[in-house]
């Protein structure tokens, strides 16, 4: 049992009276667990703060909360407020915060059940399938009789944005559809708004439907639709959004935007999903048939608002069939998915349509490719991904529209691909095969080439701890300080004697020690009992190297000290947010006047909410596009192929750095702080800075 904490008499009485209703029972409606999931409760003795101690929580950081109950084997636990009406919260293991889940203990007790009891959410979940089936059959009145009582009885989360639940969102959306089908449009709109708040994206489409067909609020359709476009949408939602926007633009006489929305559907789906284009065309045809204000203009859209049609000659069909049979079965299935014909027997037109797709992303189990000629028939493909070990990928330059290529789940740029000799070298080094290494080098393998995770053959060999092989490779020019996409190099895998041997071999081979390098990496080191801080309270993206001084509050920003209370000592350098630094006036005096950085004033707020008198600054080195990225062996980002998730080396062009002594490089996502060797020597005197060699 841990230390005791004073318990208000009234709270003790309330908990004592309710203990039998809680201990060993189950609660539901907890954040992150899904509203229908039940978790077992085990009360802790009120006033025992052992759970706080076990999780290094300072009671002073949460003076109004006490540990209340554990949740089975989960790392989270419940807390109870010492203030009436005794709210019940949950301590979140991930971020160390306590969230109020129920505003009063009576609300919490309403969510406590026996293990065998069905919660309202579980009942609601099963009811949704029945309601959904009725809505599909347009039996809206019958569906409404079922779902309305369930909605009325359903206990809503205290914090909907925190406790959003898929079934709850779906339920409110179905409720809206039943109301809409019964022509109760204001009530339907309110239900759709609740569903949207709970995260149901289709609810916003349903709101657009009401705005368009019932309220005739076409500016509202456009405003709400353009806002929806900022979020991630699947194909169904993207097409319907374009259709709603096109219809609204037509009604308002904005014919150029109406045409642009409809052409977007043709461009995206005329080949890959013809049905979507046919449905959009039918919508325009109805607009024309109804005699809407701009029907005559809309008639001109029909000339291009249609799927692509195919007339395949017997000779073409025979040629296409031969190509089709040469593909692995998995690739054929993926192509049929691309044209929305999965699980169908391909016709001659289907195969011709497959040849026109603009995207093909194959998984590892869809086949392994060494002969890339099969891809050359895909002359419209812009995105291609596959697995395999081809000797060369040069022939893929024959794809005129190819913009993005991934091989083995790695983004490939400029058709850079390792030679067979390099791959043989890596295989031999990984196996510790000296003869294989010598053979691969003789065949043209390069000790500077990088393989998986940006590692050199030397780093691969070092993992076998074969010092003789490694010193041989160093003698051939392999750099023992060459990095990879992680934090290791060849030296990492050896004890001191092995490290010394490799460094001596490097000196003999004329490879300079990193002590001579012009740049270092600068980061924040966690010192004993050091305070850490949340990012300053400004609505500005920090840590990207963008200049923000013009938007910084004139009176300075505030930086809140993070728990636990025991970590509150101030140093010259302290962490702020994820990877940023707060520096003292002493550090600022050294940096002041340096080009390419901003020293932005902050007020430190301690854990009790009081401002500290010491002068500190947010350190903002500005970004410079200075990496010779082709020599950095990047791992390109899958979402943004123009940025690198990792790089194996920092190769900096000094001419682009100019007079800057402290900066962040562009392209690489982590945006580390880079400092010149001369400035690093000045900064190493301050506690809190960590200065390390750059990967090379």
Reported as a pLDDT band with limits 50, 70 and 90, residue 445 is: very high
Helix, coil or strand: residue 448: coil
Are 169 and 286 part of one and the same domain?
A: yes
Are 224 and 105 part of one and the same domain?
A: no
Contacts 24+ apart (CB under 8 A), 545-549: 545/620, 545/621, 545/622, 545/623, 545/624, 545/663, 545/664, 545/666, 545/671, 546/622, 546/623, 547/598, 547/620, 547/622, 548/598, 548/600, 548/620, 549/598, 549/600, 549/620
Are 180 and 281 part of one and the same domain?
A: yes
For range 475-490, the mean pLDDT: 96
The answer to whether the Cα torsion of 111, 117, 123, 125 is positive or negative is: positive
- Beta sheet of 65-71, edge-to-edge order: 97-102, 88-92, 77-81, 65-71, 38-43, 26-28, 112-113
Which of 484, 516, 548 terminates a domain? The answer is 516
Are 248 and 324 part of one and the same domain?
A: no
Are 630 and 508 part of one and the same domain?
A: no
Residue with tokens 């639709």: 225
Say how far apart CA 69 and CA 79 lie, in whole Å. 7
Spatial CA neighbour of 650 closest among 608, 692, 598:
692
Which of 463, 490, 516 terminates a domain? The answer is 516
Reported as a pLDDT band with limits 50, 70 and 90, residue 392 is: very high
Are 580 and 499 part of one and the same domain?
A: no
What pLDDT sits at residue 534?
A: 94
Mean pLDDT computed over every residue of the chain:
93
Are 202 and 257 part of one and the same domain?
A: yes
Are 545 and 681 part of one and the same domain?
A: yes
Q: What is the CATH number of the domain that holds 167?
A: 1.25.40.10
pLDDT at 11 over 80: yes
Domain assignment present for residue 3? The answer is: no
Domain assignment present for residue 120? The answer is: no
What pLDDT sits at residue 160?
A: 47
Which of 477, 500, 516 terminates a domain? The answer is 516
Domain assignment present for residue 272? The answer is: yes
For range 572-590, the mean pLDDT: 96
What pLDDT sits at residue 232?
A: 87
Domain assignment present for residue 487? The answer is: yes
Q: For residue 522, what are the β-bridge partners?
A: 673, 691
Domain assignment present for residue 351? The answer is: yes
Reported as a pLDDT band with limits 50, 70 and 90, residue 654 is: very high
Say how far apart CA 440 and CA 421 lie, in whole Å. 5
Residues 6+ apart with CB under 8 A from 64: 81, 82, 83
Are 373 and 224 part of one and the same domain?
A: no
Residues 6+ apart with CB under 8 A from 664: 544, 545, 621, 622, 623, 624, 671, 672, 673, 674
pLDDT at 159 over 60: no
Q: Within 10 A of 128 (CB to CB), how many other CB atoms are there?
A: 19
Tokens of 362: 């194959």
Say how far apart CA 406 and CA 294 lie, in whole Å. 46
What pLDDT sits at residue 162?
A: 43
Are 183 and 89 part of one and the same domain?
A: no
Residues 6+ apart with CB under 8 A from 630: 414
Spatial CA neighbour of 449 closest among 460, 441, 457:
457
Are 263 and 293 part of one and the same domain?
A: yes
Domains held by the chain: number: 5
Are 580 and 609 part of one and the same domain?
A: yes
Q: For residue 551, what are the β-bridge partners?
A: none
Domain assignment present for residue 102? The answer is: yes
What pLDDT sits at residue 579?
A: 87
Domain assignment present for residue 119? The answer is: no
What pLDDT sits at residue 42?
A: 96
Domain assignment present for residue 103? The answer is: yes
pLDDT at 157 over 60: no
Cis peptide before 85 (omega within 30 of 0): yes
What pLDDT sits at residue 677?
A: 97
DSSP code of residue 684: T
Domain with 14, as residue range(s), is 9-113
Spatial CA neighbour of 324 closest among 288, 292, 352:
352
Q: What is the CATH number of the domain that holds 495?
A: 1.25.40.20
What pLDDT sits at residue 156?
A: 61
């Amino acid at each position: 049992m841990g230390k005791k904490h004073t318990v208000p008499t009234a709270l003790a009485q309330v908990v004592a009276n309710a203990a039998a209703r809680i201990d060993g029972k189950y609660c539901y409606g907890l954040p992150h667990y899904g509203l229908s999931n039940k978790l077992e409760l085990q009360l802790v003795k009120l006033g025992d703060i052992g759970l706080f101690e076990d999780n290094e929580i300072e009671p002073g950081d949460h003076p109004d909360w006490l540990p209340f109950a554990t949740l089975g084997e989960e790392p989270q636990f419940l807390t109870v407020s010492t203030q009436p009406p005794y709210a019940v919260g949950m301590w979140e293991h991930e971020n160390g915060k306590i969230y109020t889940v129920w505003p009063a203990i009576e609300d919490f007790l309403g969510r406590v059940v026996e293990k065998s009891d069905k919660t309202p959410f579980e009942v609601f979940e099963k009811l949704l399938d029945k309601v959904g089936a009725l809505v599909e059959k347009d039996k809206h009145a019958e569906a409404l009789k079922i779902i309305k009582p369930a909605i009325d009885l359903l206990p809503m989360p205290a914090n909907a944005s925190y406790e959003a639940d898929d079934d709850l969102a779906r339920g409110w959306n179905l409720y809206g559809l039943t109301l809409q089908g019964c022509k109760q449009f204001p009530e339907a709109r309110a239900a759709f708004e609740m569903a949207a708040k709970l995260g149901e994206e289709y609810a916003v489409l349903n709101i657009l439907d009401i705005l368009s067909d019932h309220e005739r609020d076409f500016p509202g359709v456009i405003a709400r639709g353009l806002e929806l476009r900022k979020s991630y949408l699947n194909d169904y939602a993207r097409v319907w959004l374009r259709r709603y926007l096109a219809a609204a633009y037509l009604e308002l006489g904005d014919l150029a935007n109406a045409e642009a929305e409809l052409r977007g559907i043709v461009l995206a789906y005329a080949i890959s999903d013809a049905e979507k284009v046919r449905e959009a065309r039918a919508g325009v045809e109805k607009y024309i048939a109804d005699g809407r204000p701009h029907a005559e203009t809309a008639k001109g859209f029909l000339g291009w608002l249609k799927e692509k049609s195919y007339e395949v000659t017997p000779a073409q069909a025979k040629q296409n069939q031969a190509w089709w049979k040469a593909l692995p079965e998995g690739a054929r299935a993926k192509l049929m998915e691309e044209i929305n014909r999965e699980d169908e027997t391909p016709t001659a037109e289907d195969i011709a349509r497959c040849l026109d797709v603009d995207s093909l992303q194959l998984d590892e189990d869809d086949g392994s490719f060494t002969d890339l000629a099969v891809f050359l028939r895909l002359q419209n493909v812009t995105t291609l991904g596959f697995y395999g070990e081809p000797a060369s990928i040069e022939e893929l330059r024959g794809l005129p529209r190819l913009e993005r290529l991934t091989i083995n789940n790695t983004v490939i740029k400029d058709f850079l691909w390792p030679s067979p000799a390099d791959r043989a070298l890596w295989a031999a080094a990984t196996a510790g095969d000296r003869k294989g290494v010598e053979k691969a080098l003789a065949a043209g393998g390069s000790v500077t080439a990088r393989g998986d995770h940006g590692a050199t053959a030397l780093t691969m060999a070092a993992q076998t701890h074969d010092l003789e092989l490694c010193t041989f490779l160093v003698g051939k020019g392999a750099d023992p300080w060459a990095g990879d996409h992680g934090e290791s190099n060849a030296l990492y895998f050896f004890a001191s004697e092995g490290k010394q041997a490799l460094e001596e071999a490097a000196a003999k081979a004329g490879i300079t020690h990193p002590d001579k390098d012009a740049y270092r990496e600068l980061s924040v080191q966690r010192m004993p009992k050091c305070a850490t801080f949340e990012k300053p309270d400004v609505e500005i993206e920090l840590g990207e190297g963008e200049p923000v001084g013009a938007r910084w509050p004139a009176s300075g920003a505030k930086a809140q000290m993070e728990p636990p209370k025991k970590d509150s000592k101030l140093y010259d350098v302290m962490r702020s947010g994820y990877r940023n630094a707060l520096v003292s006036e002493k550090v600022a005096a050294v940096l002041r006047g340096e080009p390419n950085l901003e020293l932005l004033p902050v007020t430190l707020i301690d854990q009790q909410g009081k401002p500290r008198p010491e002068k500190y600054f947010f350190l903002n080195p500005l970004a410079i596009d200075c990496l010779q990225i082709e020599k950095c062996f990047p791992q390109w980002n899958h979402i943004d192929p123009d940025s690198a998730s990792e790089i194996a080396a920092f190769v900096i062009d000094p001419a682009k750095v100019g007079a800057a002594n402290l900066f962040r490089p562009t392209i690489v996502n982590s945006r580390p702080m880079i400092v010149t060797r001369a400035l690093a020597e000045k900064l190493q005197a301050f506690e809190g800075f960590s200065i390390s060699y750059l990967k090379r």
